[in-house]
Amino acid sequence: MTDDIVVRGASEHNLKDIDVSIPREEFTVVTGLSGSGKSSLAFETVYAEGQRRYIESLSAYARNFLGQMDKPQVENVEGLSPAISIDQKNAANNPRSTVGTVTELHDYLRLLYARVGTPHCPECGREVGEQSAQQMVRRLLELPDGTRAKLCAPVVRDQKGAFEDLFSELVSEGYTRIEVDGEEFDLTMETPDLDENYDHTIDVVVDRVKLTEDARSRVTDSVETALEEADGVLKVILPDPPEEAGLGGSESRSTGDLAGEGREAQSASDDTSGERSEPREDARLVVEFSEELACTHCGIDLPEIETRSFSFNSPHGACPECEGIGETKEVDESLVVTDPSKPIKNVFEPWSYNRSYYRTRLDSVAEHFGVSVDTPFEELDESVQQQFLYGTDREVVFKRQTKNGTRRKEKRFEGVIPNLDRRYIETDSDSTREHIEDYMATTTCPACEGTRLKPESRAVLVAGTSITDVNCRSIGDALEHFENLDADLDARERKIAEEILKEIRARLGFMEEVGLEYLTLDREASTLSGGESQRIRLATQVGSGLVGVLYVLDEPSIGLHQRDNDKLLDTLEGLRDLGNTLVVVEHDEETMWRADNVIDMGPGPGKRGGEVVANGDVEDVMDTDRSITGDYLAGRRSIPVPDERREPDRREGSKRASGDGGAASRDADGYLTVRGARQHNLRDLDVEFPLGCFTAITGVSGSGKSTLLHEILYKGLVRRMNDTDVFPGDHDDIEGIDEVETVRLIDQSPIGRTPRSNPATYTNVFDHIRELFAETKLSKQRGYKKGRFSFNVKGGRCESCGGQGTVKIDMNFLSDVYVPCEECEGLRYNDETLEVTYKDATISDVLDMEVDEAYDFFEGHSGIRRRLELLKDVGLGYMRLGQPSTTLSGGEAQRVKLAEELGKKDSGETLYLLDEPTTGLHSADERKLIEVLHRLADDGNTVVVVEHELDLVKNADHIVDLGPEGGEKGGDLVAAGTPEAVAENEASHTGRYLRDHLPAVDLEGPRGGRTPAAGDD
């Protein structure tokens, strides 16, 4: 076997028949401009070929399910190992997946709790256990030789009654001695006269015995008899217990009333048994044993503890109320009545007065209370309001007009909310259910308090902690808990738990290493960012300890603060040192510095790329003249630091200044100020965003950046600008809102969910292109209008694929696969339409053009070119016009949206909010993006960006740095000010890493000045 993975003749996508070697058991970065062919080499060639060979090696039967995989466009790949890809796709959209389950950590926790967990009663919290008759006898005989004991069968426990029949039955069975409420009777002498209105406890004394080894068989017989008589429960009464009774230690798992509690319970029943009670020594000890897992105190049987008892995805573990989801949906009063000043007939949002069903009910109930349906709801008595909402106390006369006259019916009115609840359950109609869902709010399940597990499972403790207690901790806190757990376990438990704990600690440790210590274990996996779920899978892989594997990763640095990125790189090196091969697609320069090899793809994007420009260590790349990556690494090119920072825009004659006047207005002048932000981990922050400036929100992962941007700033402003469907996160106020005309959130969500939308349709450029095709000579002859060239309507498109060019193949349990349409061979249009050409290109050819190409092609058409230029400006020159939106990365989708925004005529008073716009960008493309952001601010708009990338951060006018750490240890404002001011701040992690990027700052950063400080480009 060779030492290298040797790729020969790769020509997937834009790759130009390239040969390349990737050293095995080393760490290789594949880099280059966006669209230069990085992913085509790493994922679509090397990884895909590895996958294909793996599937080929499976049985014909398995292949049948997995389907045929196309061989990548490559002559040969030698030296391949089994390949695992770790990309950014968030695979989980199942509400049942949590951080704990996807990392398999929950499986180890379940094992730990099933093996060493001590069950407790979910009602009273007493420890419970189960044991065989043999174990009970052994425990009894462990008591000091000669200890006196009464072995009893508890036949009645806290029940009302006189129990005369029971007593005569016992006599006929041959039992004479009993204890009633702790008092002994001899049934041959007297029958107890019990007050049937009180609770009584009756124990049959099966045997009175001195516990000695000689009496073993007698004790065994008596224990078995008692267990039979009392359905598996034995009560042992020791009239004068030895000092160390040793029956109730936690290790013994003996059940029920332990020493202290037993005495208490006994003296409590003394009070009720009154005068007839004989004096008894306080010292007597009562212990109960059960064959079953049961709380003998509450009479609750508990299920056997198994690993599945702790799985909320199994009926054996799931909370029965919410079936393991942790949330329940209920009709919410505040959504049903949003404006109580409306009249009765219109106040209930889901009930339309125009429909006779509702009108009959509202009219009749209003008449019942003697009010008009035109009365404002808020003017009704509280009790009447409640009866409208939740049902009337008395019967209401319902009158309904039929063709035979008026029909009367008397019955209680069920109430608007119970009516919705009932119909939600009863209806067969999806649309009715969806309609009602609009008025439902999701609340934490009251039964399990959101922990998803049933009470019995939650009552199992390891060293006093339940599994749900562990699950709601952050990874960092959980790690600390398990590191200190040994001290709280006894020798036996420690031995059983040893290996399990090792696995748990290791897995938590890996997650901490990749910078995820702030995530809680019960966090729903579907709410994680792409970067977070990638790092979770990375940590899981490290935990699996595989060797000889080829790992292919997609931009692991995304969403990571430099400090955490340094830790992540340590993890990657560790994975390599185990004997694995790493191929990492990445733009981050620090990653290149740490890698063993760098393959630079290019030189340009798209059709101008697809070659290997440089392949060697980072120095070799720096020495390669035509490598743009090398230029940036060596500092021949760089992203400049702006000469000047913008000042907040203090607009003249603002509406606010004429309004409430005084000092308050002057404070708000020039700033958009958030007051009292408290959502999630934010600590009641006041944060200023200078208007007309470019602000970066920074901080380590989990510090609260996105919460501030999305939940407070975006939703808070949108809500105040009249969108009442939006619910912002907890905060007091946003001042300066009058200075902002519109808010635009440009996020990474897809631009469309079907392959029908693409950059050309989204930015509207396709509209103009279709117009151009309709104006050609042939179109005019044939009478083709613009619509003929649409692939979304009938007429000119291929009907076989409905204009999609692809046909979806359902792959059973795998994700759907799209294959080219056989009819049009992927061209989307019918032959007649394709006969129309503009400059020799068909409409289908145009959709296949890259933006850069199309820009040159449509020379002279300013309307089209202006839109294409915006796509070029945001670094998307390589993108094909017709590229299905479903194949765009989050970063690409975000940049398409940004381009569309730039095309709008704006007033210069727009607030643009962006979350990590540099995702997936090479330095050269990032530079373009930064220019676009500056352009927006220069036009008087306000730009606020959440970002880690330091070249972008150093370009901001103002930084808001949150932290200092993630999760519970974050949420504070660490620093605010210009990049230079933040860099001087010792407490700011961001600031320290910024130092090397700012020529005006004379301090050294953690990476020791390796990054070139300034460029002269």
Kindly state whether residue 295 participates in binding Zn ion, applying the rule CB under 5 A. Answer: yes
Kindly state whether residue 824 participates in binding Zn ion, applying the rule CB under 5 A. Answer: yes
**CB nearer to Zn ion: pick between 603 and 826:** 826
Q: CB of 758: closest distance to Zn ion in angstroms?
A: 16
Kindly state whether residue 862 participates in binding Zn ion, applying the rule CB under 5 A. Answer: no
**CB nearer to Zn ion: pick between 297 and 958:** 297
**CB nearer to Zn ion: pick between 226 and 459:** 459
Kindly state whether residue 847 participates in binding Zn ion, applying the rule CB under 5 A. Answer: no
* Stretch near Zn ion under the rule CB under 5 A, chosen from 53-61, 152-160, 650-658, 797-805: 797-805
Contacts 24+ apart (CB under 8 A), 330-333: 330/421, 330/440, 330/441, 330/443, 331/417, 331/420, 331/421, 331/424, 331/436, 331/439, 331/440, 332/439, 332/440, 332/441, 333/389, 333/417
Q: CB of 455: closest distance to Zn ion in angstroms?
A: 10
Kindly state whether residue 20 participates in binding Zn ion, applying the rule CB under 5 A. Answer: no
According to CB under 5 A, which one of 371, 447, 774, 834 is a site residue for Zn ion? 447
Kindly state whether residue 301 participates in binding Zn ion, applying the rule CB under 5 A. Answer: no
Q: Any bridge partners for residue 185, and if so which?
A: 178
Choose among 737, 739, 738, 733: nearest CA to 675.
733
**CB nearer to Zn ion: pick between 317 and 759:** 317
Kindly state whether residue 318 participates in binding Zn ion, applying the rule CB under 5 A. Answer: no
* Stretch near Zn ion under the rule CB under 5 A, chosen from 57-65, 525-533, 612-620, 795-803: 795-803
Q: Helix, strand, or coil here: 614?
A: strand
According to CB under 5 A, which one of 558, 821, 930, 974 is a site residue for Zn ion? 821
**CB nearer to Zn ion: pick between 48 and 448:** 448
- Tell me how crowded residue 345 is: count the other CB atoms within 10 A of its CB: 20
Q: CB of 821: closest distance to Zn ion in angstroms?
A: 3
Q: CB of 294: closest distance to Zn ion in angstroms?
A: 9
Kindly state whether residue 931 participates in binding Zn ion, applying the rule CB under 5 A. Answer: no
β-pairing, 199-211 vs 611-616, is unpaired
Q: CB of 808: closest distance to Zn ion in angstroms?
A: 12
**CB nearer to Zn ion: pick between 32 and 326:** 326
Helix and strand element counts for the chain (H, E): 40, 35
β-pairing, 733-735 vs 671-677, is antiparallel
* Stretch near Zn ion under the rule CB under 5 A, chosen from 311-319, 615-623, 666-674, 728-736: 311-319
Q: Which of residues 117-176 bind Zn ion (CB under 5 A)?
A: 121, 123-124, 126
Q: Phi and psi (nearest 5°) for 57?
A: -75, -10
CA-to-CA separations, 277 to 189, 192, 269, 284, 447, in angstroms, rounded: 17, 12, 10, 15, 42
According to CB under 5 A, which one of 26, 270, 301, 321 is a site residue for Zn ion? 321
- Tell me how crowded residue 484 is: count the other CB atoms within 10 A of its CB: 10
* Stretch near Zn ion under the rule CB under 5 A, chosen from 256-264, 315-323, 606-614, 868-876: 315-323
Q: Helix, strand, or coil here: 256?
A: coil
**CB nearer to Zn ion: pick between 321 and 733:** 321
Q: Mark 513-550 as b/e (b = at least 16 C-beta within 10 Å).
A: bbbbbbbbbbbbbeebbbbbbbbbbbbbbbbeeeeebb
* Stretch near Zn ion under the rule CB under 5 A, chosen from 28-36, 137-145, 478-486, 817-825: 817-825
**CB nearer to Zn ion: pick between 66 and 298:** 298
Kindly state whether residue 797 participates in binding Zn ion, applying the rule CB under 5 A. Answer: no
**CB nearer to Zn ion: pick between 56 and 823:** 823
Kindly state whether residue 823 participates in binding Zn ion, applying the rule CB under 5 A. Answer: yes
According to CB under 5 A, which one of 247, 448, 592, 879 is a site residue for Zn ion? 448
* Stretch near Zn ion under the rule CB under 5 A, chosen from 318-326, 357-365, 750-758, 776-784: 318-326
Kindly state whether residue 294 participates in binding Zn ion, applying the rule CB under 5 A. Answer: no
By rule CB under 5 A, what count of residues binds Zn ion? Answer: 19
Q: Any bridge partners for residue 99, and if so which?
A: none
Whether omega for the bond prior to residue 242 falls within 30 degrees of 0, making it cis, is: no
* Stretch near Zn ion under the rule CB under 5 A, chosen from 114-122, 529-537, 744-752, 809-817: 114-122
HSE, side-chain direction, 13 A CA sphere, residue 649? 23
Residue pair 99/521 in contact (Cβ under 8 Å)? The answer is yes
Choose among 984, 976, 977: nearest CA to 1001.
984
Q: CB of 882: closest distance to Zn ion in angstroms?
A: 13
β-pairing, 942-946 vs 694-698, is parallel
Q: CB of 523: closest distance to Zn ion in angstroms?
A: 17
**CB nearer to Zn ion: pick between 325 and 569:** 325
Q: Which of residues 205-264 bind Zn ion (CB under 5 A)?
A: none
**CB nearer to Zn ion: pick between 833 and 885:** 833
Kindly state whether residue 302 participates in binding Zn ion, applying the rule CB under 5 A. Answer: no
Rounded distance between C-alpha atoms, residue 963 and residue 973, angstroms = 6
**CB nearer to Zn ion: pick between 598 and 798:** 798
Q: Phi and psi (nearest 5°) for 200?
A: -130, 155
Rounded to 5°, angle at Cα 161 from 156 and 167: 60
Kindly state whether residue 319 participates in binding Zn ion, applying the rule CB under 5 A. Answer: yes
- Tell me how crowded residue 289 is: count the other CB atoms within 10 A of its CB: 28
Q: CB of 822: closest distance to Zn ion in angstroms?
A: 8
According to CB under 5 A, which one of 152, 582, 798, 846 is a site residue for Zn ion? 798
According to CB under 5 A, which one of 120, 157, 297, 731 is a site residue for Zn ion? 297
N residues, the chain: 1017
Angle of helix 491-513 relative to helix 530-544, nearest 10 degrees, comes to: 130
* Strands annotated E in 247-339: 285-290, 294-295, 300-301, 327-331
Rounded distance between C-alpha atoms, residue 828 and residue 824, angstroms = 6
**CB nearer to Zn ion: pick between 473 and 828:** 828
**CB nearer to Zn ion: pick between 297 and 587:** 297
Q: CB of 845: closest distance to Zn ion in angstroms?
A: 16
Rounded to 5°, angle at Cα 6 from 5 and 11: 120
**CB nearer to Zn ion: pick between 183 and 327:** 327
Q: Helix, strand, or coil here: 935?
A: helix
Place of tokens 């519109």: 742
Q: Any bridge partners for residue 961, and if so which?
A: 698, 975
Place of tokens 């931009």: 555
Return all residues near 443 (Cβ < 8 A) that are at least 6 apart.
327, 328, 329, 330
Kindly state whether residue 528 participates in binding Zn ion, applying the rule CB under 5 A. Answer: no
- Tell me how crowded residue 89 is: count the other CB atoms within 10 A of its CB: 15
According to CB under 5 A, which one of 48, 322, 396, 420 is a site residue for Zn ion? 322
**CB nearer to Zn ion: pick between 126 and 177:** 126
Q: CB of 773: closest distance to Zn ion in angstroms?
A: 18
Rounded to 5°, angle at Cα 84 from 83 and 86: 145
Q: CB of 263: closest distance to Zn ion in angstroms?
A: 17
Q: CB of 440: closest distance to Zn ion in angstroms?
A: 16
**CB nearer to Zn ion: pick between 322 and 836:** 322
Kindly state whether residue 460 participates in binding Zn ion, applying the rule CB under 5 A. Answer: no
Kindly state whether residue 994 participates in binding Zn ion, applying the rule CB under 5 A. Answer: no
* Strands annotated E in 212-314: 233-238, 285-290, 294-295, 300-301
Contact footprint for Zn ion (CB under 5 A): 121, 123-124, 126, 295, 297-298, 319, 321-322, 445, 447-448, 798, 800-801, 821, 823-824
